[in-house]
Structure 1
């Protein structure tokens, strides 16, 4: 027992992109820093607009606010470490620190999925059941639903941590990824990971496929309802209110589903290609989501311009 404890892994090494030549480390770290900076500025702007404009205190914008908070949390959890990996050549992360990062990675992923479920439910009720919308989606109820999403998202990654943390890690400590996640950690355990892989697959089904099934159902129902609306302008208005959410949801789900399906049907990628895909669907949406809000959501766009003109008054 003492020999096993003596050889227990005390830290992990994040390899990042295994095939990247050292001469490009500075460029990659600068690019990742730019992504992080833009993500913080963009999502902080959404939070500022929400805090200073009461006209945004509506159910749909409460949901968007939580997407921004979740995006900020995920980017702050993952990006600083991988930036330091290339900027300062510091790829090591402590054993406990890796599990903390793993928790927040999966927590933010689950939370985003549940919030997108609420986003689709909001649009479904607003368009398919407009007379009941103001009754169902009161401020108190939407806050309760959002709180429930945060609590439910907390439980699933906590269960993964409880099962993965006690495993014996006595061999290699290189994680072929840019951040710690369940698969990257448990494959390093000195034991059969099949039961733990099954738990991870089950949680992925609950987190991704169940909300996605309802989202597909809700937007199909919205399209069917839009066909019944008389008048092109009313129909266009109904669809435009959904387009913003649909773009954001697609950015989150489609790449993830592609990666999971590809791995299950035997399509293999090199480690670098797989990591690039994971980084794209993990880091691009948090950066571009606020831009989509500002371009597509009329209320947010108007509040943004109002805030801009307060800082830079228009010339007469």
Structure 2
């Protein structure tokens, strides 16, 4: 497939294939090192989130509303922007210098990247609502947040997240792109593609920006509200140990939420902030930070720190040691609850 082609009715060059550049300033001798780094990061992220999914599938006592939304987050982190959707192409770019991506494949990647970004925002909102109900209304929580309710909310998140990215993808599919065809980013995103549009593109970026701000920061507003209510409830607790435990959990989750939302604001809002400019490398580094870090540590922050999952792993380790010590015998190990 040729990378550009002439329009029959004009002399304007039309792009039919893009090229993922990655970090523009990265020198060629470091390409293989970068490829190995991204490959290890990819495997670690996928493995960590798959462990959570497997544990949830094997342990019936984890099939509760709280863990349903956690598994939903794990599935989202496996598929999201810098994992399955974008990292393989970036690894190919640095390993085999193969950064080519077909036009429609680029549009699909654009849609899925923004889709998973929207999905994560909605899942974080659902998790915040779940924690708010569990802490502020502990007696009503089992009746309000049932497994069917949480499953329904999760399905709504996965379906609704397609709306705004779908509108942007359809808009990009109807416009023309001119040379050069190099995408100064690790994947196809709105900001990078707008720079390659033929003619004035501000009327295309602005609706996408408004949509992104809506899908990201309306949920953030509700998340902040829920955490404020949680803090107020915690301060009224009689038990000092309960307050410390809840504050520890909320602080850790608040940190993850902060690095998910705050850097995104500066990346998306850079064109509208006077005298604020981001180089391509700084922009990519910022995108890497908020895209890589949360999926990598979410299994530890949201799941592996919970007492139930720790007990399950302790039970598995004890069972494995017992079988190894007494091969061929059925060794009974107390079940974890």
Give TM-score scaled by structure 2 length.
0.88
Q: Quick one: which of 302, 305, 310 aligns to 1:293?
A: 302
- Please say if 1:112 is aligned against 2:120: yes
Q: Which residue of 2 aligns with 1:102?
A: 110
- Please say if 1:16 is aligned against 2:25: no
> 1:269 and 1:202, CA in 2 relative to 1: closer, same or farther beyond 3 A?
closer
Give 1:6 deviation, angstroms.
8.0
Higher helix share: 1
- Please say if 1:229 is aligned against 2:234: no
User: Which piece of structure 1 moves more, 56-65 or 130-139?
Assistant: 130-139
Give 1:16 deviation, angstroms.
0.1
Q: Which residue of 2 aligns with 1:267?
A: 276
> 1:251 and 1:53, CA in 2 relative to 1: closer, same or farther beyond 3 A?
farther
Q: Which residue of 1 aligns with 2:4?
A: none
> 1:144 and 1:188, CA in 2 relative to 1: closer, same or farther beyond 3 A?
same
| Counterparts of 2:150 and 2:62, CA distance in 1 | 14
Contact 1:119 1:245 in 2 (8 A): no
Secondary structure, counterpart of 1:8 in structure 2: strand
| Counterparts of 2:240 and 2:158, CA distance in 1 | 39
Q: Which residue of 2 aligns with 1:35?
A: 41
Q: Which residue of 2 aligns with 1:278?
A: 287
Residue by residue, what CA displacement relative to the aligned partner does 1:121-171 show, whole Å, maximum 9, x if unpaired?
111111122232122211111111111111110111111101111111132
Contact 1:294 1:304 in 2 (8 A): no
- Please say if 1:149 is aligned against 2:157: yes
Give 1:311 deviation, angstroms.
4.1
Residue by residue, what CA displacement relative to the aligned partner does 1:236-256 show, whole Å, maximum 9, x if unpaired?
344345345334323322322
Q: Which residue of 2 aligns with 1:53?
A: 59
Secondary structure, counterpart of 2:275 in structure 1: coil
Secondary structure, counterpart of 2:88 in structure 1: helix
| Counterparts of 1:89 and 1:21, CA distance in 2 | 12
Q: Which residue of 2 aligns with 1:214?
A: 222
| Counterparts of 1:80 and 1:110, CA distance in 2 | 21
Q: Quick one: which of 25, 28, 33 aligns to 2:31?
A: 25
- When Rg is computed on C-alpha atoms for both structures, the one with the higher figure is 2
| Counterparts of 2:87 and 2:308, CA distance in 1 | 31
Contact 2:253 2:301 in 1 (8 A): no
Secondary structure, counterpart of 2:162 in structure 1: helix
Count of matched residue positions in the alignment of Structure 1 and Structure 2: 316
- Please say if 1:138 is aligned against 2:146: yes
| Counterparts of 2:275 and 2:268, CA distance in 1 | 10
Give 1:303 deviation, angstroms.
1.9
Secondary structure, counterpart of 1:192 in structure 2: coil
Give 1:260 deviation, angstroms.
4.1
**RMSD, aligned α-carbons:** 2.0
User: Which piece of structure 1 moves more, 248-257 or 279-288?
Assistant: 248-257
| Counterparts of 2:10 and 2:197, CA distance in 1 | 13
User: Which piece of structure 1 moves more, 229-238 or 182-191?
Assistant: 229-238
| Counterparts of 2:274 and 2:131, CA distance in 1 | 34
Q: Which residue of 2 aligns with 1:245?
A: 253
Give 1:276 deviation, angstroms.
1.2
The structure, 1 or 2, with the larger RCO (C-alpha pairs under 8 Å, 6+ apart) is 1
Residue by residue, what CA displacement relative to the aligned partner does 1:12-64 show, whole Å, maximum 9, x if unpaired?
01110000110000100000000001011111101110000112111111111
Contact 1:293 1:300 in 2 (8 A): no
| Counterparts of 1:212 and 1:197, CA distance in 2 | 22
